[in-house]
């Protein structure tokens, strides 16, 4: 599980770092005049952003090794590259948010205008009097124009005679009906076009607010007693997104790699010599070399001391959790996992796998590589902790590790 969490953390941090580097590249690219200058600025910006993720490793390693000047230099460098990356992230986040909200505002305004135009056209259709189709009315008008009264009245301009007045009233009525029919036809075309435009947004939600997120958060802030405008909330959200990218890409890798304990590679400490007092019998029959005898004669009253190394954690683990077992074997992975569990029980920091393997190999344990896996032969875990596939010694011939 520890390795799975580490892999997921590295993957997530890598995505944040890639996004932040891309934003920095675009920002640097926009600073150049010629194409070559744009590429140079873009590459430098992306490299600075990637270096931002590496500086925490250098900084804490310098602190661990007490290299104060390198630690100060790392801190100054991190502040510079992070500040540069933060400005590009802020600009990119603000630009995208403004573009998005602007497009939404234009879409919402256009939708409202179309709805208003449709309602206005439908209302006008209700105001038009009853009429026949335009072609029918036009045919009736053409028939009137073929009558004698049309020429007698001089195209209905001379209506002094009663017969001409009646004839021209009929003509003007048909002309009014034709106008109504023509207007209705135009309104029908207009309504059809508006409905076609509205149909393009069919299935899409047209938001009444250009930035719904900022609007909702502004209302929540007002409920909590904070007076803010939507524009202020939009700025706050842009800053928050930029900080998310910069902090996530800057420290994400360092935090994710902590699962593998990158700095747990300290060399084995020099064992402290412990004096073990042994009394020497003067009646011993052991032959002593002349020089040793002279030294012993000069220090007859002082006991002989033997210097021995103290017991290490690997030695304790071997005594407490390992037992000799003919025909059994343990894989290096199983052995190291049990060692880590033992260290957790003892509240100790476990050694790295290479260091543990080197120290455990010094305990006179047979080590072999079988089927591509390193195994320790002739040992088993106590209390039935090993897995079944580790209890049985594989049948193929052993190949030295």
User: Which residue is associated with the tokens 């993957």?
Assistant: 11
| Mean pLDDT score, 83-89 | 79
**63 vs 94, higher pLDDT:** 63
Q: What tokens appear for 356 in the block?
A: 């543990």
Look at residue 148 and tell me if it is in a domain. Answer: no
- Rounded distance, CA 158 to CA 176, Å? 19
Q: Considering the chain, what is the average pLDDT of its residues?
A: 76
**What pLDDT, on a 0 to 100 scale, did the predictor assign at position 155?**
83
Local confidence band at 281 (pLDDT 50, 70, 90 cut-offs): very low
Judged against a pLDDT cut of 60, whether residue 308 lies above it is answered with no
Look at residue 90 and tell me if it is in a domain. Answer: yes
3-state DSSP of the chain:
CHHHHHHHHHHHHHHHHHHHHHHHHHHHHHHCCCHHHHHHHHHHHHHHHHHHHHHHHHHHHHHHCCCHHHHHHHHHHHHHHHHHHHHHHHHHHHHHHHHHHHHHHHHHHHHHHHHHHHHHHHHHHHHCCCCCCHHHHHHHHHHHHCCHHHHHCCCCCCCCCHHHHHHHHHHHHHHHHHHHHHHHHHHHHHHHHHHHHHHCCCCCCCCCCCCHHHHHHHHHHHHCCCCCCHHHHHHHHHHHHHHHHHHHHHHHHHHHHHHHCCCCCCCCCCCCCEEEEECCCCCCCCCCCHHHHHHHHHCCCCCEEEEECCCCHHHHHHHHHEEEEEEEEEEHHHHHHHHHHHHHHCCCCCCCHHHHHHHHHCCCCEEEEECCEEEEEEEEEHHHCCCHHHHCCCCCCCEEC
Among the listed residues 326, 286, 280, the one whose alpha carbon sits nearest the alpha carbon of residue 305 = 280
**What pLDDT, on a 0 to 100 scale, did the predictor assign at position 401?**
41
- Does 324 lie in the same domain as 366? yes
**What pLDDT, on a 0 to 100 scale, did the predictor assign at position 290?**
44
**260 vs 161, higher pLDDT:** 161
**What pLDDT, on a 0 to 100 scale, did the predictor assign at position 286?**
39
Q: What tokens appear for 298 in the block?
A: 């000069």
Instruction: Express each pLDDT in 110-149 by its tens digit.
Output: 888 888 998 999 999 889 888 899 899 899 888 888 888 8
CA angle 371, 374, 376 (to 5 degrees): 120
Most confidently modeled range among 86-95, 154-163, 219-228, 329-338 = 329-338
Look at residue 140 and tell me if it is in a domain. Answer: no
**What pLDDT, on a 0 to 100 scale, did the predictor assign at position 287?**
37
* pLDDT more than 90, % of the chain: 7
| Mean pLDDT score, 321-341 | 88
Local confidence band at 270 (pLDDT 50, 70, 90 cut-offs): very low
Look at residue 196 and tell me if it is in a domain. Answer: no
Judged against a pLDDT cut of 50, whether residue 179 lies above it is answered with yes
Look at residue 283 and tell me if it is in a domain. Answer: yes
Look at residue 88 and tell me if it is in a domain. Answer: yes
| Mean pLDDT score, 38-44 | 86
Among the listed residues 337, 316, 346, the one whose alpha carbon sits nearest the alpha carbon of residue 390 = 337
**What pLDDT, on a 0 to 100 scale, did the predictor assign at position 204?**
57
- Does 352 lie in the same domain as 337? yes
- Does 340 lie in the same domain as 282? no
Judged against a pLDDT cut of 70, whether residue 341 lies above it is answered with yes
Which residues lie closer than 8 Å to 108 by C-beta, 6 or more apart? Answer: 206, 207, 208, 209, 210
Neighbours of 211 (CB within 10 A): 22
Neighbours of 326 (CB within 10 A): 9
- Does 90 lie in the same domain as 7? yes
- Does 293 lie in the same domain as 254? no
Instruction: Express each pLDDT in 248-265 by its tens digit.
Output: 777 777 777 766 655 454
Local confidence band at 186 (pLDDT 50, 70, 90 cut-offs): very high
**What pLDDT, on a 0 to 100 scale, did the predictor assign at position 191?**
92
Neighbours of 248 (CB within 10 A): 19
Local confidence band at 209 (pLDDT 50, 70, 90 cut-offs): low
**181 vs 153, higher pLDDT:** 181
| Mean pLDDT score, 65-92 | 83
Long-range (24+ apart) CB contacts under 8 A made by 38-41 are none
- Does 89 lie in the same domain as 6? yes
- Does 234 lie in the same domain as 92? yes
Question: Could you tell me the CATH number of the domain that includes residue 358?
Answer: 1.10.10.10
Number of domains in the chain: 3
| Mean pLDDT score, 27-54 | 83
**What pLDDT, on a 0 to 100 scale, did the predictor assign at position 398?**
44
Cα–Cα distances in angstroms (integers) from residue 15 to residues 20, 76, 83, 266, 361, in the given order: 9, 25, 20, 31, 40
**What pLDDT, on a 0 to 100 scale, did the predictor assign at position 301?**
47
Judged against a pLDDT cut of 90, whether residue 343 lies above it is answered with yes
- Does 386 lie in the same domain as 237? no
- Does 303 lie in the same domain as 317? no
First to last CA, the chain: 28
Look at residue 388 and tell me if it is in a domain. Answer: yes
CA torsion angle for 76, 80, 82, 88 (degrees, to 10)? 180
- Does 302 lie in the same domain as 285? yes
**What pLDDT, on a 0 to 100 scale, did the predictor assign at position 309?**
56
Look at residue 346 and tell me if it is in a domain. Answer: yes
**What pLDDT, on a 0 to 100 scale, did the predictor assign at position 208?**
56
Local confidence band at 366 (pLDDT 50, 70, 90 cut-offs): confident
Most confidently modeled range among 156-160, 341-345, 367-371 = 341-345
- Does 283 lie in the same domain as 237? no
Domain of residue 249, residue span = 2-102+229-260
Question: The pTM is what?
Answer: 0.38
| Mean pLDDT score, 291-306 | 47
- Does 7 lie in the same domain as 95? yes
């Amino acid at each position: 599980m520890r390795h799975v969490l580490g892999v997921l953390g590295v993957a997530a941090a890598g995505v944040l770092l890639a996004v932040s580097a891309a934003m920095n590249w675009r920002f640097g690219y926009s600073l150049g005049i010629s194409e070559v200058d744009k590429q140079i600025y873009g590459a430098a910006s992306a490299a600075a952003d990637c270096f931002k993720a590496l500086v925490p490793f250098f900084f804490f390693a310098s602190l661990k090794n007490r290299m104060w000047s390198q630690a100060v230099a790392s801190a100054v460098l991190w502040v510079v590259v992070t500040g540069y990356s933060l400005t590009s992230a802020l600009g990119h986040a603000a630009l995208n948010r403004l573009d998005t909200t602007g497009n939404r505002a234009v879409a919402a305004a256009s939708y409202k205008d179309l709805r208003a135009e449709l309602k206005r056209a439908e209302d006008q259709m209700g105001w038009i009097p009853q009429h026949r189709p335009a072609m029918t009315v036009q045919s009736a008008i053409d028939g009137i124009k073929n009558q004698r009264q049309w020429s007698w009245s001089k195209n209905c301009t001379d209506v002094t005679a009663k017969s001409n007045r009646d004839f021209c009233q009929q003509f003007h009525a048909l002309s009014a009906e034709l106008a109504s029919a023509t207007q209705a036809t135009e309104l029908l075309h207009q309504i059809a076009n508006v409905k076609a435009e509205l149909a393009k947004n069919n299935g899409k939600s047209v938001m009444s607010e250009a930035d719904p997120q900022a609007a909702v958060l502004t209302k929540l802030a007002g409920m909590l007693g904070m007076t803010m405008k939507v524009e202020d909330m939009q700025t706050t959200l842009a800053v928050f997104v930029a900080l998310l990218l910069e902090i996530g890409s800057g420290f994400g890798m360092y935090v994710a790699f902590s699962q593998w304990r990158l700095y747990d590679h300290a060399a084995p400490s020099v064992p402290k010599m412990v004096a073990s007092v042994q009394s020497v019998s003067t009646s011993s029959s052991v032959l002593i070399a002349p020089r040793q005898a002279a030294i012993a004669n000069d220090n007859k009253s002082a006991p002989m001391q033997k210097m021995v190394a103290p017991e290490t954690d690997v030695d304790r683990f071997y005594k407490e959790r390992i037992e000799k077992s003919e025909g059994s074997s343990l894989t290096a992975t199983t052995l190291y996992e049990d060692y880590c569990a033992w260290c957790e029980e003892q509240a100790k920091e476990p050694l790295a796998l290479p260091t543990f393997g080197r120290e455990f190999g010094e305990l006179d344990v047979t080590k072999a590589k079988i089927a591509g896996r390193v195994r320790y032969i002739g040992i088993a875990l106590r209390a039935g902790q090993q897995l079944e596939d580790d209890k049985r010694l594989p049948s193929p011939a052993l190949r030295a590790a």
